[in-house]
Chain A
Amino acid sequence: MKENKEWIPKILALLCRWCAYAGADLAGTSRIPYPPSPRIIRFPCSARMDPYFVIKGFREGFDGVLVAGCHPGDCHYSVGNYYARRRFMLLKELLLFAGIEPERIQMRWISAAEGKKFAQVVNEMTEDIRRVGPLKLKEEALEIILKKEEVWQPLPGSE
């Protein structure tokens, strides 16, 4: 990978299905181009985005993680995005402490009508991450949070 304009960072984009994911769809329907950096996973709500998914994203080598949901007050589940906002503010502090640059974890509000904004957010974040380059985790950082044993294990059946 070269660290120049050509390098396309890989961004894990966690989007809620009602607003941000629909906004990403609208960017497509409106044919607004953006670099092929985001890898989108659809969530029912930003409240479903366990902070673990973000940590997992960095562990798996994504250069950045975008978390996006409905604008405050517009959550399909009325308050989910407020919970998400709190969780991510805390998480971001923790990740900054572990030496991850602030450019790499961003949270944005994108409505279903904001296709243009989605493209803009991807453009900006891609540029931001290009500036800081590919993800290089410090060993200590990995020790501190990221390599702490898997907190999540698959559940054997639900009952």
Chain B
Amino acid sequence: MTRIGVFVCWCGANIARTVDVELVAQKASTLPGVVYSTSYLYMCSDPGQALIKDAIRDYNLDRVVVASCSPAMHEPTFRKAVEEGGLNPYFMEMANIREQNSWVHDDRVAATEKAFELIAATVERVKRAQPLEPLGFSVEKKALVIGGGIAGIQAALDIAEAGFKVYLVEKTPSIGGRMAQFDKTFPTLDCAMCILSPKMVDCYRHPNITILSYSEIEEVKGFVGNFEVTIRKKARSVDEKLCTGCGLCIEKCPSKAKSEFDEGVGERKAIYIPFPQAVPLVPVIDREACLWFSKGRCGLCQRVCPTKAIDYSQQDTFIKERFGTIIVATGADVFDPVVYEEYGYGRYPDVITSAQLERIIDPSGPTKGEILRPSDGKHPQSVVFIQCVGSRDEQKGYPYCSRVCCMYTAKHAFLLREHLPNVKLYIFYIDIRAFGKGYEEFVRRVQDELGANYIRGRVGRIYPEKGKLIVQGADTLLGQQVRIEADLVVLATALVPQKDVEELARKLSISTDQYGWLMEAHPKLRPAETMTKGIFIAGTCQFPKDISDSVAQASAAASKAIAILQQEWLYSEPVVARVNKNKCVGCFACKEVCPYSAIEEEALVEQTSGLEKRVAKVNEGLCQGCGNCASACRSQAIDLLGFTSEELIAQLEGLAKVERE
């Protein structure tokens, strides 16, 4: 006969206000198998836990039911308390009488009755509980960082400095990411490349870091401590080991294409290095633009290469590696403003995005830092900025604020004034959001000292007239229409999730929100973690943020990753499937439905007949405990520990029984 203790929590007034906890505790003492029952102000507090431990000793309890908050909240707390009291931690079950009872019902009688029913059912369930031991597994002491922007670089460096090996996988030919495209950073106007480039080189030189550029994640298997990742190393057509980065091939290449790095403002060759400070400094052949690949002739680069590094026959290769932990830092994309037909982006060459302006301002950009407008290559005399293009607009864009546009627009105004002292600057805005350290001061400076004309309102239409762009909008503060003759219009486009991030999220089994931003485990308290153990997120793949916030989150993710890498063993909940070999008929319906390929076949010789039969066997390292196999099994030979049919049915019957009485 089991000896069960029931502990009902008041949770201050959170439960006690709606549930007569003392009555419930008293009624619970009459349930079959219950030998002790009490209530207490805060069960999770030290004295509350001591109460449980003492009762286990004093009343010789062998099972415990705690009726309090959701198990999502305090299951680990009470499992530990019960363990310290001398019982197997899985001899404790919780009844959720707060989130799913006292907080949602206001009828005291009904809520009290329901609380009792939930407890009675949990008592029935805990009687069937089996003792379980946590599963231990070793940790592969190596981290994978996906995305080589500033967040990925920072995370990789932090982990490498802590003494662990890191693979840094980058989709494009070079690490550096968005930050490499910037001329200066707000609000300090540091030269972006001057602070980024040393970090890129550090990554390259660090003995613990392996950079895999021009590579993508193909497949992810396994779990925390033991991820098994297949990385596709795309054919670069250039041997990274032989290439010295001399650039002779690029010089001779006759074929050109639009430069992705320059946001389509400038051109690059078919064989190219995206930007001069690229890491690794190895060119890549764009096979669509290359004459050798498209027309089968040319081959100039191969002929001029002094180290014979050009290899047209190169194929994608696959690298399989094991990692203990993964950090996702894949960054964000820029909103395509073509849907705003009234702005004429794509129709008028002098309507450009902020990312394009960034490249035009950059001294290493296509105009060598001269502010020249795309249509005729002249200096603009009048520039209009339009903020919130795609942000804070549910109709054509996204409802969220992209957080960086107010600041980069102010920065652009500042830099334009520096380059062109007489340029007229107009900035259409909805609200100015300058919330960071030194941000408000920076915007003030642009407004007051640099004479940028901030106009609160939206632009309704842009159209060309006599070589100018006419910007028509509303000034909502003055309540009047404005008409501005502009030479250049810059759209402060929103940040949007990367197009392929959903696919990556699926491979990693992590979730995205309604827009496609990667979901954090908790928006306030676990901002760098995902719901999947061992996978962390950093930078703008989670949500738009500036460089300082990206770096901070990257270091946070790295410290979480290091905490895992430092462990010799990790322990997981022993919620895994188990096979009753005697009952198993070897149909392997379980094997077919298992998403983790955790079911193996095992040969068994029956003692009586001497015949061999094949039965299912669970690989506990792979089993994640979904229980699909248990539902699929036709002979009830497979069950899920912690959620056995016996436990679940006892709970179900318990819920029903009380109702009938």
Residues of chain A at the chain B interface (Cβ within 8 Å): 8, 10, 12, 17-18, 21-22, 24-29, 31-36, 38-45, 47-53, 56-57, 60-62, 73-74, 76-80, 83, 87, 119, 151-155, 157-159
User: Are the C-beta atoms of A61 and B659 separated by less than 8 Å?
Assistant: yes
CA distance A128 to B628 in the complex (A): 30
Instruction: List 16 A-B residue pairs with CB atoms under 8 Å apart, sorted by A's residue number.
Output: A10-B659, A12-B652, A28-B98, A29-B103, A34-B104, A36-B107, A39-B117, A39-B121, A44-B575, A50-B645, A51-B631, A60-B657, A73-B506, A155-B644, A155-B645, A155-B646
**CB-CB < 8 A to A24: which residues of B?**
99-100
Measured in the bound complex, the distance between the Cα atoms of B596 and A78 in whole Å is 10
| Contact (Cβ within 8 A) B626 A31 | no
Interface residues of B (CB under 8 A from A): 70-72, 96, 98-101, 103-107, 110-111, 113-114, 117-118, 121, 506, 509, 511, 531, 575, 578-581, 583, 593, 595-596, 624-628, 630-632, 636, 639-640, 642-646, 648-649, 651-653, 655-657, 659-660
Asked if B100 and A40 sit within 8 Å, CB to CB, the answer is yes
Q: Which of B595, B639, B642 contacts A77 (CB 8 A)?
A: B595
Which B residues touch A83, using CB under 8 A? 593, 628, 631-632
Provide the bound-state CA to CA distance between A18 and B72, in Å: 10
Nearest chain A CB to B88 CB, angstrom units? 16
* Cα distance A77–B531 in the bound complex, in angstroms: 12
Q: Which residue of B is nearest A156, CB measured?
A: B580
For A73, list chain B residues within 8 Å (CB). 506
Chain A residues with CB below 8 A from B105, complex form: 33-36
Chain B residues with CB below 8 A from A32, complex form = 104
Say yes or no: B643 contacts A44, CB within 8 Å.
yes
With A53-B648, A60-B653 already in contact, the answer to whether A80 and B595 are too (CB < 8 A) is yes
Say yes or no: A53 contacts B531, CB within 8 Å. Answer: no
User: DSSP class of A's interface residues: helix, strand, loop or mixed?
Assistant: loop
Interchain CA distance A33-B103 in the complex, whole Å: 8
Residues of the A chain whose Cβ atoms lie less than 8 Å from the Cβ of B71? 42
B631 touches A87 (CB 8 A): yes
Cα(A33)–Cα(B531), bound, Å: 27
Query: Are B511 and A74 closer than 8 Å at their CB atoms?
Result: yes
Tell me if B104 and A31 are in contact (CB < 8 A).
yes
Cα A38 to Cα B596 in complex, Å, equals 32
Measured CA separation A18–B624 after assembly (Å): 13
A residues near B628, Cβ cutoff 8 Å: 45, 47-48, 77, 80, 83
Q: Tell me the minimal C-beta distance from A47 to chain B in angstroms.
A: 4
User: CA–CA, A151 to B636, complex, Å?
Assistant: 9
Cα distance, A60 to B655, chains bound together (Å): 9
With the chains together, A8 CA to B660 CA distance in Å?
A: 14
* B581 nearest CB neighbor, chain A only: A159
| Minimal Cβ-Cβ distance residue in A for B118 | A39
Which of A33, A56, A57 makes the CB contact (< 8 A) with B104? A33
Q: Contact between B99 and A36 (Cβ–Cβ < 8 Å)? A: no
Interface centre among A21, A25, A31 (most CB of B within 10 A): A25
Contact partners of A38 in chain B: CB under 8 A: 100
- Can you name the residue of chain B whose Cβ is closest to the Cβ of A84? B631
- Give the one of A36, A42, A119 with max B CB within 10 A: A36
Q: Which residue of A lies closest to B629 (CB)?
A: A47
Chain B contacts for A33, CB-based, 8 A: 104-106
Which A residues touch B593, using CB under 8 A? 47, 83
Q: Is the CB of A22 within 8 A of B72?
A: yes
